[in-house]
Amino acid sequence: MGEGKCRNASEALSDICGHYTHKLTWQQIVNLYRLTLPEEPPEQLRSNFNVAPTHVMPLIRPTGNGREMFMAGWPTACEAS
């Protein structure tokens, strides 16, 4: 994969080795990551005991002087470099 080539989604997904569990509450996520945004939990945020690469799940990223959580799914396409 380190060749810088764009692969299709099925090839990329075949490299993923399993599922994980997401069971934190909104308040636990806010406290753990010291979130500054968003102020309210996203509508899509739910516990999931069998997260697969195709599910939309929370991600944390830096923003301004804090951190924000946003919901995103696994990319199904990539740009050639």
Q: Evaluate if residue 78 carries a pLDDT over 50.
A: no
| Tens digits of residue pLDDT in 1-18 | 445 555 555 555 555 556
Residue 72 pLDDT: 87
In angstroms, rounded to a whole number, what is the distance separating the alpha carbons of residues 7 and 58? 24
pLDDT at 8: 58
Instruction: Mention every residue, 6+ apart, whose C-beta is less than 8 A from residue 30.
Output: none
Domain limits of the chain? 9-72
| Whether pLDDT at 45 is above 80 | yes
Least trusted range by pLDDT, from 19-23, 47-51, 63-67, 69-73 = 19-23
Alpha carbons 31 and 55: distance in angstroms, whole number: 24
- Tell me which DSSP letter residue 38 carries: -
Dihedral angle computed from the Cα positions of residues 68, 71, 73 and 78, in that order, rounded to the nearest 10 degrees? -40
The pLDDT score that the predictor gives to residue 76 is 45
| CB atoms near residue 64 (< 10 Å) | 8
